[in-house]
Amino acid sequence: MIEIHQKKLKIPVYHPQDWFQLGRRTGLKTPFQVHEMKHEEFLDFADIFRSGLVVRKNNIDCEKFLWHDDLWLQYRKDLRHLNYKYSHADAPSRQ
Average pLDDT, consecutive stretches of 10 residues, N- to C-terminus, the chain (95 residues): 70 79 75 81 76 77 84 76 81 69
Rg value, the chain, Cα: 19
What does the pLDDT read at residue 38?
Answer: 86
For residues 7 and 27, membership in a common domain is answered with: yes
50 in the same domain as 6: no
CB 92 within 8 A of CB 72: yes
CB hemisphere CA count around 57 (13 angstroms) = 0
**Res 69: pLDDT:** 84
CA 49 to chain centre: 18
The confidence score (pLDDT) of residue 95 equals 63
Co-location of 48 and 85 in the same domain? yes
Instruction: Give the chain's domain count.
Output: 2
This prediction has a pTM of: 0.44
Please tell me whether residues 34 and 47 are part of one structural domain.
no
